[in-house]
Structure 1
């Protein structure tokens, strides 16, 4: 099927009659009605705006550029309703004038959501992959949040330096170990030609949490969101001072399949946090539930860690059967 742009050029060159152009162009514009129906059905979405500089999804609180070069992009997952939204629940654990770390910020969905919910917060957003970091900066400008959200082109690990990242065609799955899910290797060109697999190797800067905090004179962190495609244990291992002294609430992804690529089990993270006085929790509705150990029946993928002493008031309010 000829692309709409090509039809436009043919008409402008006088090579396509007006009424034929109308008919063929209409066929390609009809999918806009489908998009409109999705926006109508999805209570979180408000509009899709087609602009000269890109296509923008506007939600209840933020705006995100689509990146259709990706096999799947954040704006797309929100529009079609597959991206879970836990911003409201996360916000309950964030105090006034908070300092927030978004580790593995990707293109900024969580950072932007928290910034809109907490206009007095200072947010540090960390993204190591250069192309994704450019998308993050683009979305921060789109939402006029460059001052509130401090974007850093870097990641965290148990050591400092420059490390090799494996970046598949869907770069949101970039990791220090190659992903095993072949879906993410596919180029984002569905319906536009032959689909190809791609896996790039790029060098990205990383630091330890403790070193970064000390170097930047940070004496308070209230909330950390961490999603690093399996490297979570190493990220946390580099933050012994942060977790034993600053004691932020932690919201993190933990998946057995990702952890296995790094030769550990998510239960190792739970044990590590126990040593710092934390306990692990899952969330459902408006409650936290203690989570002691992950096994093969575990379906949850996102977890909270709260410190037994520092977060006692939060635990009394939200935890069911906390100790």
Structure 2
């Protein structure tokens, strides 16, 4: 029985005042349980509002709104696991520099974009999220954090310029993809996708310095669709490579490593506060997030970060 149902039963006389108070005491006790629970997490506080919950993170007082229960949305991930991609995120943010142009491809609710905006106010950030419901949350989080250097776009990236069906499960929003990853509970949503090369050309963007790409399996298609831009700009690349998702797109993550190696990139995985070189993915590989640094352009970063 929910809190609202419990109150309704009391108001209609179905349960006594004594039973009502006892049951509500059980519900309210969880509020105080959370004060203990968050102490070991990166969440500093949780604010209850009519629209939803606002989670404030310890780093840079970043605020993230949750309007409905989602099993894997970023603040819930932090509640469950104490932090969110902690090793990789710290390395990623250490690679930021003033006046960079940052493309957040698969921005979701804005964890990386908003933190980047607060860490480096001179960075220009383009945040891309194709799912309308998630994009709405992204925009709300940008406003909530009062950052003005993020430019949100309700588009996705692949290697084509057209409308594409995405599969979206409201309680697993982070798994939204151009392939059905969540099974029968997914809803089909049609969204616009563009290629990286075409977007830069149409929007007259002359440079790009750093990319975060996490689109649940379609990462190779993004890089294929941006090959000219990658060759020209040689940006730092931080991307997810997950075998079970890439299989849905009929490729293996090693194809990404090979493609980018052809441009002079080396692949690295996080190990503590540093990076270790990663050469080939196999069934024993545990890593899922990777950094690609150009051997010449990013030689200083490689020297300082790689074991």
TM-score range, shorter chain: over 0.9
C-alpha contact (below 8 Å) 2:159/2:222 kept by paired residues: yes
Q: Secondary structure in 2 aligned to 1:94?
A: coil
- Residue in 1 that maps onto 2:215: 228
TM-score of the aligned structures, taking structure 2 as reference length: 0.92
Paired with 2:280 and 2:201, the residues of 1 have a C-alpha distance of 33
Q: How many residues align?
A: 302
- Unaligned 5+ segments in structure 2 are none
Distance 1:72 1:318, change over 3 A: closer
The alpha carbon displacement at 1:13 in A equals 6.8
The alpha carbon displacement at 1:168 in A equals 2.7
- Residue in 2 that maps onto 1:131: 133
Paired with 1:41 and 1:296, the residues of 2 have a C-alpha distance of 33
- Residue in 2 that maps onto 1:4: 3
Q: 1:258 aligns with which of 245, 248, 261?
A: 245
Residue 285 (structure 2) pairs with residue 303 (structure 1): no
Residue 150 (structure 2) pairs with residue 149 (structure 1): yes
Paired with 1:67 and 1:134, the residues of 2 have a C-alpha distance of 11
- Residue in 1 that maps onto 2:259: 272
- Residue in 1 that maps onto 2:268: 281
- Residue in 1 that maps onto 2:38: 39
Instruction: Render the CA deviation track for 1:27-63: whole Å, top value 9, x for unaligned.
Output: 1111112211111222x11011111221111111211
C-alpha contact (below 8 Å) 1:87/1:114 kept by paired residues: no
Paired with 1:216 and 1:15, the residues of 2 have a C-alpha distance of 62
- Residue in 2 that maps onto 1:51: 49
- Unaligned 5+ segments in structure 1 are 186-196
- Residue in 2 that maps onto 1:159: 160
The alpha carbon displacement at 1:72 in A equals 3.0
C-alpha contact (below 8 Å) 2:51/2:67 kept by paired residues: no
- Residue in 1 that maps onto 2:21: 22
Paired with 1:52 and 1:199, the residues of 2 have a C-alpha distance of 27
C-alpha contact (below 8 Å) 2:73/2:173 kept by paired residues: no
Residue 65 (structure 2) pairs with residue 65 (structure 1): yes
The alpha carbon displacement at 1:296 in A equals 1.3
Q: Secondary structure in 1 aligned to 2:81?
A: coil
Of 169-178 and 104-113, deviating more is 169-178
C-alpha contact (below 8 Å) 1:95/1:222 kept by paired residues: no
Q: 1:290 aligns with which of 272, 277, 281?
A: 277
User: RMSD in angstroms over aligned alpha carbons?
Assistant: 1.9
Instruction: Render the CA deviation track for 1:278-301: whole Å, top value 9, x for unaligned.
Output: 111112122221111111111110
Paired with 2:121 and 2:79, the residues of 1 have a C-alpha distance of 25
Paired with 1:201 and 1:17, the residues of 2 have a C-alpha distance of 46
